[in-house]
Amino acid sequence: MSGAVVTGAQAGLVSCETCKLLTRPVNAEHAGHCPRCGATLEVRRVQSLQRTWALIIAAAICYIPANLLPVMVSNTFATSDAETIMGGVVYLYSSGSWPLALIVLVASVMVPLGKLLALGYLLVSVQRGMPGSHHERARLFRIVVFIGRWSMLDVFVATFTVALVQLQPLMSVLPGAGVLFFAAVVVLTMLAAESFDPRLIWDVKNNMEKQDG
Amino acid sequence: MSDAARSPQPLMACQECDLLQRIPPLPVGGRARCARCGFLLAARPRDPLELPLVLTLTALIVFVVANAMPLMDLAAVGRYASTTILGGARQMWLDGERITAMIVVFCAVIAPALYLLLMLAVLLAARRPPLPHWSGELLRWGLHMQPWAMYDVMLLGILVALIKIAQLATVDPGVGLFAMGLLALLLPAISVTFDAREVWKRVEWKHGDDLAVAAFADGNYVERGR
- Tell me the ipTM for this assembly: 0.86
What is the chain B residue with the closest CA to A107?
B153
A140 and A68 fall within a common domain: yes
Say how far apart CA B208 and CA A32 lie, in whole Å. Answer: 12
The sign one gets for the Cα dihedral A68, A69, A70, A76 is positive
A94 and A127 fall within a common domain: yes
Q: Is A63:A55 a contact under the CB 8 Å cutoff?
A: no
> Whole domain around residue A9: which residue ranges?
1-43
Q: Is residue B208 part of a domain?
A: no
B98 and B172 fall within a common domain: yes
A23 and A100 fall within a common domain: no
The amino acid that residue B118 corresponds to is L
Q: Is residue B214 part of a domain?
A: no
A81 and A167 fall within a common domain: yes
- The kind and range of the H/E element at B82 are strand B79-83
- Looking at residue A55, its pLDDT comes to 97
Question: Do B81 and A165 count as a contact with CB atoms less than 8 A apart?
Answer: yes
Q: Which of A74, A33, A129 is nearest to B207 (CA)?
A: A33
Say how far apart CA A198 and CA A6 lie, in whole Å. Answer: 16
DSSP-derived secondary structure for B170-187 = EEEE-HHHHHHHHHHHHH
Cβ neighbours of B216 in A, within 8 Å: 21, 23-24, 35-36
- Looking at residue B5, its pLDDT comes to 44
- The kind and range of the H/E element at B147 are none
Cβ neighbours of A164 in B, within 8 Å: 72, 74, 81-83, 161, 165, 171
- Looking at residue A199, its pLDDT comes to 92
DSSP E strands, B138-208: 170-173
Q: Is B13:A198 a contact under the CB 8 Å cutoff?
A: no
- The kind and range of the H/E element at B193 are helix B175-193
Q: What are phi and psi of A148, to 5 degrees?
A: -50, -45
Cβ neighbours of B148 in A, within 8 Å: 149, 190
Q: Is B154:B182 a contact under the CB 8 Å cutoff?
A: no
CB pairs below 8 Å between A and B: how many? 252
Cβ neighbours of B159 in A, within 8 Å: 100
What CATH number does the domain containing A95 carry? 1.20.140
Indicate the number of domains in chain B.
2
B39 and B25 fall within a common domain: yes
- The kind and range of the H/E element at A110 are none
Question: Could you list the pLDDT tens digit for every one of the 226 residues in chain B?
Answer: 444 444 567 788 998 989 998 888 888 888 899 988 889 988 888 888 899 999 999 999 999 999 999 988 888 777 777 888 999 899 999 998 999 999 999 999 999 999 999 999 999 988 887 788 788 888 989 988 999 999 999 999 998 888 888 877 888 888 999 999 999 999 999 999 998 888 888 887 766 544 455 665 544 333 333 3
Q: Which of B75, B67, B57 is nearest to B186 (CA)?
A: B57
Q: Is B19:B9 a contact under the CB 8 Å cutoff?
A: no
What is the chain B residue with the closest CA to A18?
B140
The sign one gets for the Cα dihedral B108, B114, B119, B124 is positive
Say how far apart CA B111 and CA B116 lie, in whole Å. Answer: 9
Q: Which of B91, B170, B100, B168 is nearest to A91 (CA)?
A: B168
Considering only the beta carbons, identify the residue of B148, B212, B223 that sits closest to A33: B212
Say how far apart CA B194 and CA B148 lie, in whole Å. Answer: 18
What is the chain B residue with the closest CA to A102?
B160
Q: Which of B73, B142, B21, B218 is nearest to A18 (CA)?
A: B142
Q: Is residue B39 part of a domain?
A: yes
The amino acid that residue A34 corresponds to is C
Indicate the number of domains in chain A.
2
A99 and A186 fall within a common domain: yes
| A166, β-bridge pairs | A172
Q: Is B88:B104 a contact under the CB 8 Å cutoff?
A: yes
Q: How far is B209 from chain A (nearest CA, A)?
A: 9
A23 and A86 fall within a common domain: no
A160 and A72 fall within a common domain: yes
Question: Do A35 and B77 count as a contact with CB atoms less than 8 A apart?
Answer: no
B109 and B151 fall within a common domain: yes
Q: What is the helix, strand, coil percentage profile of chain A, to 5?
A: 60, 10, 30
Residue-wise pLDDT tens digits, B82-104? 888 999 899 999 998 999 999 99
Which A positions 72-131 lie with beta carbon below 8 A of chain B?
88, 91-92, 95, 97, 100, 103-104, 107
B4 and B88 fall within a common domain: no
Q: Is residue B15 part of a domain?
A: yes
Cβ neighbours of A175 in B, within 8 Å: 92, 95-97, 100
Which A positions 142-181 lie with beta carbon below 8 A of chain B?
148-150, 152-167, 170-171, 174-175, 179-180
- Looking at residue B117, its pLDDT comes to 96
B35 and B122 fall within a common domain: no
Question: Do A155 and B196 count as a contact with CB atoms less than 8 A apart?
Answer: no
Say how far apart CA A1 and CA B219 lie, in whole Å. Answer: 10
Say how far apart CA A162 and CA B172 lie, in whole Å. Answer: 16
Cβ neighbours of A88 in B, within 8 Å: 164
Question: Do B214 and A174 count as a contact with CB atoms less than 8 A apart?
Answer: no
Q: Is residue B216 part of a domain?
A: no
Question: Do B74 and A171 count as a contact with CB atoms less than 8 A apart?
Answer: no
Question: Do A39 and B92 count as a contact with CB atoms less than 8 A apart?
Answer: no
Considering only the beta carbons, identify the residue of A24, A170, A179 that sits closest to B214: A24
B29 and B104 fall within a common domain: no
Q: Is residue B134 part of a domain?
A: yes
Chain centroid to CA B117: how far?
10
B8 and B29 fall within a common domain: yes
A18 and A90 fall within a common domain: no
Q: Is residue B175 part of a domain?
A: yes
Question: Could you list the pLDDT tens digit for every one of the 213 residues in chain A?
Answer: 445 558 888 888 888 888 888 888 887 778 888 888 778 888 888 899 999 999 999 999 999 999 999 999 988 777 888 889 888 889 888 888 888 889 889 988 899 999 999 999 999 999 998 888 889 999 999 999 998 889 899 999 999 988 888 877 777 889 999 999 999 999 999 999 999 999 999 988 888 877 776
Q: How far is A148 from chain B (nearest CA, A)?
A: 9
Question: Do B161 and A20 count as a contact with CB atoms less than 8 A apart?
Answer: no
Q: Which of A59, A33, A25, A64 is nearest to A196 (CA)?
A: A59
Q: Is residue B222 part of a domain?
A: no
> Whole domain around residue B170: which residue ranges?
48-202
A26 and A131 fall within a common domain: no
A191 and A88 fall within a common domain: yes
B112 and B75 fall within a common domain: yes
Question: Do B160 and A103 count as a contact with CB atoms less than 8 A apart?
Answer: yes
| pTM beyond 0.95 | no
- Looking at residue A20, its pLDDT comes to 86
B37 and B142 fall within a common domain: no
B65 and B141 fall within a common domain: yes
Question: Do B99 and A18 count as a contact with CB atoms less than 8 A apart?
Answer: no
Q: Which of B17, B40, B141, B144 to mutate to test the interface with A (most CBs of A within 10 A)?
A: B17
Specify burial of residue B149 (Cβ count, 10 A radius: 0-12, 13-18, 19+): buried
A95 and A186 fall within a common domain: yes
Cβ neighbours of A146 in B, within 8 Å: none
| B215, β-bridge pairs | A24
Specify burial of residue A54 (Cβ count, 10 A radius: 0-12, 13-18, 19+): middle
B93 and B167 fall within a common domain: yes
- Looking at residue A137, its pLDDT comes to 93
**Sheet with strand B72-76: strands edge to edge:** B79-83, B72-76, B170-173
B13 and B74 fall within a common domain: no
A38 and A109 fall within a common domain: no
Q: Which of A33, A19, A171 is nearest to B209 (CA)?
A: A33
